[in-house]
C-alpha cells in the first residue's frame, strides 16, 4: 500500500492512527508528520462523514506515507475515500454487513488497486442491540465461553473473507483485535492456520499508557515470537507518538528490526553510587531523537551499569559500555577499556563513541 509492502517476508511495519477530526486537515497533517518523524510507516484516519472522506485528497497532497481510511457503518464513506486517494480501506464486519454494499467497496478498491483490511473488533462483534435479542439469545450471549468467543471471532472474519474471495478480491489484510489479551492471541493463532493473508496485530482498547504498554507488548510480542503478524499498531490512550515508540521497542526487543542502539542497563541497588536512572533516561532521550533503522549496519548495544558486580562483564560484552564505581566509571568499546569518565560527562562520552563511524 502506497509503497509499503506487508506480508510475504516484508519487514513488520508500524502503524498508528490520528487522534483529531479528519476534516481538520492542518491538524491531521501536523500529527502525521510528527508520527512519521517518530518512525510511523502507515497512518490511519477516522472517516465519520463525507467531509472527512473528501479531506483525504487534501491530506494526501501534504504527506508521503500511506494513508488508510477507517470505515464503519456507511459503505459510501469507503467509496468516497477511494475516490479521494486512500491507499487502503479498513472495513469492520461488525457494523458493515450488507453484501451488496460490501461488493461495491470491493469493486471500487479492486479498480483502484488498493487493499482492504477486514478489521474485526470484539466490541462490535459481540455487542448487539439488546432490545432485539430474545431472552434465550441474551442468556446464550452471557454464558458464552472463551473458546466460543474465539471461535465466533475467527468465523466472523473468515465468512467476510469468503465473500471477498467470491468476488475475486484477494488483496486482503486481517485483524482480530480484542481487549482481552489471551483471547486476542488465541484468535490470531487460530486464523493463522486457516489462511495465509497478512495479519495486522494489536490489542484494542488496551487502556492508559502503562497498562496499554504491558497488554500490547504481551499480546503482540507473543504472536510475533511465533512468527505470526505482518504489521502492528499499539493502541494507547495517549499521544499517538507513544504508540510508535512502543511499536519500535517491541520489534527491537524481539530482534525483528533495529531502530538505533539498544540500551542495556541495570535496575540499580544499594551498591550503585551514581544517579544511574538519570544517566540512562538522558541517554535514552537523546538516542530516541535519532530516526533511522540500522538496516545495513550491525546493531549496536550500549551497556550502562551501576556497580562492579555485573558492570564490567556487561560493559565488555556490549559494543559500548560504562561500568560505574563511586562518581565515575570505565568506558569500554568492543571489550576494551577506552578511558575513565565522570558520571556528569557519561552521556556526552557515550554519544561521541556511538557517533564514531568506527563503532558501526
Mind listing the pLDDT tens digit for each residue in 51-100?
999 999 999 999 999 999 999 999 999 999 999 999 999 999 989 989 99
Place of cell 546493531: 299
What ranges do the domains of the chain cover? 13-253, 262-359
Cβ atoms 60, 25 nearer than 8 A: no
The answer to whether domain 262-359 has CATH 3.30.413.10 is yes
Confidence label for 309 from pLDDT (cuts 50, 70 and 90):
confident
d(CA 177, CA 120) in angstroms, rounded, equals 6
The CATH number given to 13-253 is 3.20.20.20
- pLDDT score for 197: 97
pTM of the predicted model as reported, rounded to 2 decimal places = 0.88
d(CA 112, CA 275) in angstroms, rounded, equals 57
**pLDDT of 39-54, one tens digit each?**
999 999 999 999 999 9
| C-alpha dist (Å) from residue 351 to 153, 157, 283 | 48, 48, 8
Mean of pLDDT over the chain: 90
DSSP 3-state assignment of 277? helix
- pLDDT score for 228: 97
Amino acid at each position: 500500500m502506497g509503497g509499503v509492502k506487508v506480508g510475504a517476508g516484508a519487514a513488520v511495519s508500524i502503524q498508528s492512527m490520528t487522534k483529531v477530526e479528519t476534516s481538520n486537515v492542518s491538524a491531521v497533517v501536523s500529527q502525521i508528520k510528527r508520527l512519521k518523524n517518530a518512525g510511523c510507516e502507515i497512518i490511519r484516519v477516522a472517516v465519520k462523514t463525507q467531509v472527512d472522506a473528501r479531506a483525504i485528497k487534501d491530506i494526501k497532497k501534504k504527506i508521503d506515507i500511506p494513508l488508510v481510511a477507517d470505515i464503519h457503518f456507511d459503505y459510501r464513506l469507503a467509496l468516497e475515500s477511494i475516490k479521494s486517494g486512500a491507499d487502503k480501506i479498513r472495513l469492520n464486519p461488525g457494523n458493515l454487513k450488507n453484501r451488496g454494499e460490501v461488493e461495491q467497496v470491493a469493486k471500487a478498491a479492486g479498480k483502484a488497486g488498493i487493499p482492504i483490511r477486514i478489521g474485526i473488533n470484539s466490541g462490535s462483534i459481540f455487542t448487539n442491540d439488546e432490545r432485539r435479542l430474545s431472552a434465550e439469545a441474551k442468556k446464550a450471549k452471557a454464558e458464552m465461553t472463551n473458546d466460543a468467543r474465539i471461535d465466533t471471532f475467527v468465523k466472523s472474519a473468515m465468512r467476510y473473507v469468503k465473500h471477498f474471495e467470491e468476488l475475486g478480491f484477494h488483496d486482503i489484510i486481517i485483524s482480530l483485535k480484542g481487549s482481552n489479551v489471551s483471547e486476542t492471541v488465541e484468535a490470531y493463532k487460530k486464523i493463522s492456520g486457516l489462511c495465509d493473508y497478512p495479519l495486522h496485530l494489536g490489542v484494542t482498547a488496551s487502556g492508559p499508557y502503562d497498562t496499554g504498554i504491558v497488554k500490547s507488548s504481551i499480546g503482540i510480542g507473543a504472536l510475533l515470537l511465533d512468527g505470526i503478524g505482518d504489521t502492528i499498531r499499539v493502541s494507547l490512550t495517549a499521544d499517538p507518538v507513544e504508540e510508535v515508540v512502543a511499536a519500535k521497542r517491541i520489534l527491537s526487543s524481539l530482534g525483528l528490526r533495529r531502530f538505533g542502539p539498544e540500551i542495556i542497563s541495570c535496575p540499580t541497588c544499594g551498591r550503585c553510587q551514581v544517579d544511574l536512572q538519570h544517566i540512562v533516561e538522558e541517554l535514552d532521550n537523546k538516542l530516541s531523537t535519532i530516526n533511522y533503522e540500522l538496516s545495513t549496519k550491525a546493531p549496536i548495544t550500549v551497556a550502562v551499569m551501576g556497580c562492579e558486580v555485573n558492570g564490567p562483564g556487561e560493559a565488555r560484552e556490549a559494543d559500548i559500555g560504562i561500568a560505574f564505581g563511586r562518581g565515575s566509571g570505565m568506558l569500554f568499546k568492543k571489550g576494551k577499556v577506552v578511558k575513565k569518565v565522570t558520571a556528569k560527562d557519561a552521556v556526552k562520552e557515550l554519544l561521541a563513541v556511538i557517533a564514531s563511524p568506527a563503532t558501526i
